[in-house]
Amino acid sequence: MVSLNEKRSKVQYVVQNKTEWVDDDNKFGKRMLEKMGWKSGVGLGKNENGRTEHIDLKFKSNLKGVGFINGKYDSTWIAHSQSFDSLLQQLQQAHSPSASSSSSTIHNFHQTVQQTKTRLTSAYLPKDININDNKFGKRMLEKMGWKSGVGLGKNENGRTEHIDLKFKSNLKGVGFINGKYDSTWIAHSQSFDSLLQQLQQAHSPSASSSSSTIHNFHQTVQQTKTSYKKQSSGKDLSSRSNDELDCIFGWNKGNQLKIDQIKQDSSLDMTNEIISDNLYKTSEQSIEDYFKEKTKKKAQIQYEQSQSLNDQTIDSVDQNSSNEEINERVESKLEKNLKKRRNYSTVESIVDCDQSEMLPKKKKKSDQLNNDIEDPYKNCNLSELNGYQGESRINSFIKSKLMSAEDIAEKLPEKLTLGASGFTPAGYPKVIPRAYAQRIQNSKYPENFSINLYTGASTGDELDGVLARTGRLKLKIPYQSHPDLRKFINQGKLDFIDMHLSHVSRYIREGIFPPINVAIVEACDVTSDGRIYLTNSSGMSSTYLALAKDIYVELNEAHPLEMKGLHDIYLPELHTGRPINIDYVDDRIGTPYIRVNPERIKGIILTNKFDSSPGFKKPDDASFKIANHILDFILDEVEHGRIPKKLLPFQSGVGNVANAVLACIAKDNRFKSIEMYTEVIQDSIFDLIDSDKLRFASTTALTFSLEGQKRFFNQLTELKSKFILRPMEISNNPEVIRRMGLITMNTALEADIYGNVNSTHVLGSAMMNGIGGSGDFTRNAYVSIFMTPSIAKGGKISSFVPMVSHCDHNEHSVQIMVSEQGLADLRAKTPKQRAELIIEKCVHPMYKDQLRDYYKQAQRVSFGLHTPHDLQQALSWHVRLQQTGSMHPDCQQTKTKDTEQTAKQVDQTASTKK
Ligand SMILES: CC(=O)SCCNC(=O)CCNC(=O)[C@H](O)C(C)(C)COP(=O)(O)OP(=O)(O)OC[C@H]1O[C@@H](n2cnc3c(N)ncnc32)[C@H](O)[C@@H]1OP(=O)(O)O
């Protein structure tokens, strides 16, 4: 089981005595006193003999009364009772027969009584404003024309005396006057009493039954009867019509669904209750039986709750329980806890969202079909790609839904808007897409097909590659990294919308994108009540499953059933602005599965394949240098108190450099324990696990190499408590990122001298991968770091240029820039200071002079001098690269101006391994 919320401790704030005002001439208190003639060191007051020290602030941290000192008390609080006691004592002494009633004792007694009286009256009697001309009230009245002795108001006929203060020393209600009361309070009981009395008199044999008495009696009985009838008939609803009852209870009649549901639930209990045509039930039980049953039910619930508390962990569940039962119990507990924590909607609340609300699909022109359907596994060792051969998990529900991939492909529409699981080649469907591509290839009218493909991020060749190669892929969102996809995008044959990952779910739910008609997800288990347990990524699956009309599942047995519990599925409501309640990386707010209406699951196929993630290059020298600069910087920040000693959670982007940084942290003894709140976990996490430095990792995908996947599954039992997989909408949510205060590390393709970053476009026009989540994290980070080797392609490209050819992250969000040459802290710097820092710290020596020259020239010719640019030259480095194959004037190996040739080189450049 993954751990739940960390225990929080209360912090006690101690109020220090603020004494600095004594020495601080700017403090208001001191200035005010000095204006009134006070000098430091002398006492307060006219005679300078008042207190010389300020009043101490005392922090009261207990529940004792103010002034209470342990075992003692402040005697002023009980002065009255003391003097009363002594008064009594003196009285006793004075009147006791044995007492010597000397005149002095009696005198003392009278004196004490007099003093006590005076003290009490002077404390509580109203102050006479007439006797004191300084009183504010009197002065105010006089200003308004009032004179002593005359009445208030324009006509001077208002009250002439002030309002009396009355001291209330008893426990009687306000307004109570001894022996009197407001008779309306007891009118009923009085009339009842008198009724009884009259009855007795009327029927008593000795009574004289005069006609007037009988008349009175009848009248009273009649009155009482009427008022009782009125009262009781008001409460009796049995005679009311359903419409009246609807009005009384405020029931929304339109909500027939709920009524039906309640009827259904109640049908079990038909013996005791007759269910009327609407919600209102008439019970045949006596009140006594009703309460007996209620008490019994309450006791039963309490018993069950105490039982479930005892079952806190899976371990304690009865040995005979099946896996299914165990999971159900754990999940129902998680669900209960969640409901207890807050009443937010989960994914289930939008499961059956009304498809008609979505925007209509866009019409696309048909294209020529690319017939090249490759088998994604053709170069692979299949026995290696097949997963572990554990026991089969096929329950009767799965059996009832089993289909072949080809049959499913036949059922998919020709105009397909597919929401697929998967995020950076992890947890994506691997078989159905190929069968669909085959169907397109075999079709007489392939041009009838058109596919919009929505995923979490990039996926593997079995999905992105296969569908791209059909030539029928028309729209892809929101990220990609597949060479074939990239080729179509950069040839202008495929629409790709590069967007912040945190926006995707909302855009789809709100119908900004064409609506999804089919969802295909990879799962490790499916239950008969529609619970779908995902595999290596959470990505966008919850949104797609919630919205799709038809759902198909690839049940991948390569993933152990123990994967169940890794995910924490939660979809925030739209438009509510309610907080997403994640404060710490290991907080859980959702369910370990996505629940759908089982009827929407139209087919399931069985697979047994690992993700075909290409893995990463071993970190090179430059990556290690970058990593070390970053680590030195973080420790320096800790030393300056800007980052806490226990560090902040890390986000680390995709790519080789990002991978290297984590590998370096693992090796660096200065780092003890790391938390990750990120979207992709790569193989470098194993370095942190091996060095025992990983405390916890929250992510949306586990993007491991083949080796990494095998290792993770083998160690799942021990590793499960260190990981959570969240939907992309949560992992990338700006609110959570900002609240948690992350150190974010993302990679730039290029950056300019002012700190603007391009992560996506080669030469400003060719798409590399996409912005992915880098913008979500950078903009909301506590410390945002961008890293890049200072040169690419053996020096033909400088990663630092006069002006970026495309801007993904602007100078306002980028705080730290780092290359293997060094690190530039851009925080609180002007553009010109940033330019100087970046040139000196980050730029490769072979481009340093060239960039300095540009900056000097820019200052000479710039229109404005805040952010100097020479617009004629700002993109000249890119132009040179496009024309000659190198940004460096002395290093032009490709002397051709053939742009197609250059485009090919750029395309190779853009073939990043992710
Ligand atoms: C899914 C997610 O969103 S995860 C969260 C973070 N997401 C992102 O940061 C998305 C944007 N970032 C990325 O896609 C990647 O980090 C990249 C592409 C910027 C860098 O990836 P890495 O693998 O670290 O960089 P790497 O140094 O290997 O460069 C990749 C390729 O680009 C080339 N390249 C680097 N700089 C340039 C440049 N300025 N111009 C042209 N090509 C360049 C490299 O030579 C390399 O080519 P090669 O594979 O032929 O050797």
Q: Is the CB of 465 under 6 A from ligand 1?
A: no
From CA 834, how far away is CA 435, in angstroms rounded? 54
Helices (H), 501-620: 501-509, 541-547
From CA 186, how far away is CA 823, in angstroms rounded? 86
Of 255, 262, 257, nearest in space to 279 by CA: 262
Between 121 and 331, residue with greater pLDDT: 331
List, in order, residues 6 or more apart from 715 with CB less than 8 Å away: none
CB 792 within 8 A of CB 844: no
- Taking CA atoms only, the protein residue closest to ligand 1 atom 47 is 909
Which DSSP symbol is given to 567?
B
The answer to whether residue 779 scores a pLDDT higher than 70 is yes
Q: Indicate whether 543 and 492 sit together in one domain.
A: yes
Here the tokens at position 610 are: 């690992």
Q: Indicate whether 390 and 307 sit together in one domain.
A: no
Phi, psi torsion values for 393, nearest 5 degrees: -115, 25
Please report which confidence band the pLDDT of residue 368 belongs to, taking 50, 70 and 90 as the band edges: very low
Please report which confidence band the pLDDT of residue 179 belongs to, taking 50, 70 and 90 as the band edges: low
Q: Indicate whether 447 and 329 sit together in one domain.
A: no
Question: In one letter, which amino acid is 721?
Answer: S
Q: Please state the domain count of the chain.
A: 2
* Residue 411 belongs to some domain of the structure: yes
pLDDT at res. 305: 54
Here the tokens at position 661 are: 């940084």
Which tens digits make up the pLDDT trace of 323-356?
455 455 545 555 554 444 333 333 333 333 333 3
From CA 661, how far away is CA 830, in angstroms rounded? 29
* Residue 91 belongs to some domain of the structure: no
Ligand 1 centroid – CA 677 distance (Å): 21
- Taking CA atoms only, the protein residue closest to ligand 1 atom 28 is 656
Q: Is the CB of 605 under 6 A from ligand 1?
A: no
Given the residues 679, 729, 750, 811, the one annotated as active site: 679
Query: Collapsing DSSP states into helix, strand and coil, what is residue 724?
Result: strand
From CA 104, how far away is CA 114, in angstroms rounded? 15
Q: Indicate whether 335 and 433 sit together in one domain.
A: no
Here the tokens at position 169 are: 């020393």
Here the tokens at position 735 are: 């609110």
Q: Could you give the angle at the alpha carbon of 721 between the alpha carbons of 716 and 724, nearest 5°?
A: 95
Mean pLDDT for the chain overall: 78
CB 420 within 8 A of CB 462: no
Mean pLDDT, range 708-715, rounded to an integer: 96
Mean pLDDT, range 559-566, rounded to an integer: 95
Of 193, 191, 194, 210, nearest in space to 202 by CA: 210
Query: Collapsing DSSP states into helix, strand and coil, what is residue 735?
Result: helix
* Ramachandran sector of residue 828 (left: φ over 0; alpha: ψ -120 to 50; beta: rest): left
The answer to whether residue 4 scores a pLDDT higher than 80 is no
pLDDT at res. 393: 78
Last residue of a domain, one of 574, 607, 640: 607
Please report which confidence band the pLDDT of residue 181 belongs to, taking 50, 70 and 90 as the band edges: low
From CA 660, how far away is CA 650, in angstroms rounded? 14
Per cent of the chain over pLDDT 90 is: 51
Ligand 1 centroid – CA 912 distance (Å): 6
Last residue of a domain, one of 607, 635, 660: 607
Complete DSSP assignment for 490-506: HTT-SEE----HHHHHH
* Residue 446 belongs to some domain of the structure: yes
Question: In one letter, which amino acid is 378?
Answer: K
- Taking CA atoms only, the protein residue closest to ligand 1 atom 1 is 772
Q: How far from 157 is each of 129, 130, 168, CA to CA, in Å?
A: 19, 18, 30
- DSSP-based helix, strand, coil % in the chain, nearest 5: 40, 15, 45
CB 500 within 8 A of CB 776: yes
Place of tokens 């329950």: 395
679 is an active site residue: yes
Q: Indicate whether 415 and 539 sit together in one domain.
A: yes
- Taking CA atoms only, the protein residue closest to ligand 1 atom 6 is 653
Q: Is the CB of 773 under 6 A from ligand 1?
A: yes
Which DSSP symbol is given to 570?
-
Ligand 1 centroid – CA 654 distance (Å): 8
Task: Check the CA dihedral 279-280-284-286 and report its sign.
Answer: positive
* Residue 539 belongs to some domain of the structure: yes
Q: Indicate whether 511 and 405 sit together in one domain.
A: yes
Q: Indicate whether 309 and 404 sit together in one domain.
A: no
Please report which confidence band the pLDDT of residue 584 belongs to, taking 50, 70 and 90 as the band edges: very high
pLDDT at res. 361: 34
* Residue 418 belongs to some domain of the structure: yes
- 214-223, 277-286, 570-579, range with the lowest pLDDT: 277-286
Q: Indicate whether 410 and 459 sit together in one domain.
A: yes
Where in the sequence is the domain holding 527, given as residue range(s)? 381-607
* Residue 813 belongs to some domain of the structure: no
pLDDT at res. 596: 96
Atom of ligand 1 nearest to the CA of 616: 23
Q: Is the CB of 679 under 6 A from ligand 1?
A: yes
Instruction: Give the mutation target among 749, 759, 880, 887 for probing the ligand 1 site: most ligand atoms within 8 A of CB.
Output: 749
Mean pLDDT, range 456-462, rounded to an integer: 97
Which tens digits make up the pLDDT trace of 807-828?
999 999 999 999 999 999 999 9
Q: Is the CB of 479 under 6 A from ligand 1?
A: yes
First-to-last C-alpha distance (Å) of the chain: 32
CB 458 within 8 A of CB 496: no
pLDDT at res. 41: 79
CB atoms within 10 A of CB 832: 17
* Residue 536 belongs to some domain of the structure: yes
Interface ipTM > 0.85: yes
From CA 382, how far away is CA 375, in angstroms rounded? 12
Ligand 1 centroid – CA 655 distance (Å): 6
Last residue of a domain, one of 592, 607, 622: 607
Q: Indicate whether 326 and 434 sit together in one domain.
A: no
Here the tokens at position 839 are: 């040139």
Q: Indicate whether 385 and 345 sit together in one domain.
A: no
Q: Indicate whether 441 and 339 sit together in one domain.
A: no
Q: Indicate whether 482 and 535 sit together in one domain.
A: yes
SS (H, E, C) 34-78: HHCCCCCCCCCCCCCCCCCCCCCCCCCCCCCCCCCECCECCHHHH
Ligand 1 centroid – CA 749 distance (Å): 6
CB 517 within 8 A of CB 544: no
Q: Is the CB of 630 under 6 A from ligand 1?
A: no
* Residue 320 belongs to some domain of the structure: yes
**CATH classification at residue 559:** 3.40.1080.10
List, in order, residues 6 or more apart from 656 with CB less than 8 Å away: 616, 617, 619, 620, 623, 913
